[in-house]
A = this chain, B = another copy of it.
């Protein structure tokens, strides 16, 4: 209630953040075009970009002729202006992704666990990050920050965390500070679904959607909520916990549930959560796959309907570790007119989309995107 500066609600430089997001999504744009989408005058963009140019975050491209009038000058992000490390950490594995300043994933690195103590996590990330950065011929100072996503929600605004079952053993540490010490750069920690949502906001094609929800279908089912182009966390960071709407004992439209369901009914089920292995496995068992969809689809529809009734988002992204083919099929149920999950009740149908961010790991990308999103002020 008592932070100063209500005049800067988008963080420092809301327009700058919007400008950088737009350039990441479009690749290049003129000052006039940026002014248009950011809702400011060309004069403002002129001043803003002069600063960004001198700081080397943005470069001018060629003039683009065509049509009447003066040709515009393309602005682009200087991709080598800085790099963000994204970390998707569970107890069993840690995936590191390196994004350049343009938001492109240029390398990643998988660390296999288990990581029972947070000390193990720290050393693993430290050496993994060193290797990742060195392999690109970069110095450590090239890292402008790191974002770490974990399957957990924050119970306090900062730390400590209320950790999910699988990472409970890490509790009690001041995770962000410790990791920051090790990496020598600022570190942000976020829930995995939230990180994926931020990734879609910053790197994806969400320009048309100021308010959207990102369903994260993985071991369980969670969601990240974006309101007003900003992550909405709710009380102590607990917004979007839609998995709770199926109680403790009911089945869920999750990867875990899919695996268990097949394990009980078929042979040679892929052992882990490898998307490719599952995709071909499901192609070989179309009838069972359909049967599972017939059960999980309506489950997901009810959760998404509840979310829509409360939030009225303009879009819902169907993301998560579930293979794309599964998510695409599940998405069909989110046409509420057809699936009718609540006995003819009506809500505003949101656009149902699959994420644009399809890197190795959307969560790690999103975690890194949190850093890029505030890079204008950090760097």
Interface-facing stretch out of A127-135, A280-288, A340-348? A340-348
Chain B neighbourhood of A139, CB < 8 A: none
Chain B neighbourhood of A7, CB < 8 A: 7, 14-15
Evaluate contact between B312 and A38: CB separation under 8 angstroms. no
Interface check A291, CB cutoff 8 A: no
Whether the pair A234, B211 counts as a contact (CB closer than 8 A) is yes
Tell whether, in the assembled complex, residue B234 and residue A312 are in contact, meaning their CB atoms are under 8 Å apart: yes
User: Are A244 and B6 interface neighbours, CB within 8 A?
Assistant: no
A250–B343 alpha-carbon span in the complex (Å): 9
Pair B6/A15 contact, Cβ less than 8 Å? yes
A-side binding surface: helix, strand, loop or mixed? loop
A39 to chain B, nearest CB (A): 5
A272 CB within 8 Å of chain B? no
Whether A310 contacts B312 by the Cβ 8 Å rule is: no
Interface size on A, residues (CB 8 A): 61
For the complex, what is the distance from the CA of A10 to the CA of B9, rounded to whole Å?
A: 9
CB of A1 within 8 A of CB of B39, answer: yes
**A18 interface residue, CB < 8 Å from B?**
yes
The 8 A CB mask of A39-52 against B (1 = contact, 0 = none) is 11100000000000
Other-chain contact of A241, B239, B244, B309 (Cβ < 8 Å)? B309
* A307 proximity list for chain B (CB < 8 A): 310
Contact indicator A313/B235 (Cβ below 8 Å): yes
A2 to B5 alpha-carbon distance, docked (Å) = 24
Question: Which single residue of chain B is at the shortest CB-CB distance from A306?
Answer: B306
Q: Does A245 interact with chain B (Cβ within 8 Å)?
A: yes
* Chain B residue contacts of A350, Cβ below 8 A: 235
The residues in A between 336 and 366 inclusive whose CB is less than 8 angstroms from any CB of B are: 342-348, 350
> Of all chain B residues, which has the CB nearest A213?
B310
Chain A residues numbered 204-238 whose CB sits less than 8 Å from any CB in chain B = 207-208, 210-211, 225, 227-228, 232-238
* Nearest CB of chain B from residue A301's CB, rounded to whole Å: 13
Q: Which of B10, B245, B342 contacts A309 (CB 8 A)?
A: B245
A345-B232 contact in complex given A9-B9, A310-B225, C-beta closer than 8 Å = no
Q: Are B343 and A238 in contact (CB under 8 A)?
A: no
- Which residues of B have CB within 8 Å of A243? 345
Q: Which listed residue (B38, B306, B347) contacts A238, Cβ 8 A?
A: B347
Q: A39 near B3 (CB under 8 angstroms)? A: yes
Q: Smallest distance from the beta carbon of A232 to chain B beta carbons, Å?
A: 7
Partner of A310, one of B2, B3, B40, B242: B242
Pick from B41, B242, B312: contact of A236, CB under 8 Å = B312
Contacts of A36 in B (CB 8 A): 2
**Complex CA–CA separation, A309 to B51 (angstroms):** 43
Q: Is A320 an interface residue (CB 8 A)?
A: no
A65 part of interface (Cβ distance < 8 Å): no
A265 within 8 A of B: no
Query: What would be 7 A-B contacts, judged by CB atoms less than 8 Å apart?
Result: A1-B37, A3-B39, A4-B39, A4-B40, A244-B346, A245-B309, A245-B345
Beyond contacts A235-B348, A242-B310, A249-B343: 4 other A-B pairs, Cβ-Cβ < 8 A, are A2-B39, A6-B38, A235-B350, A311-B311
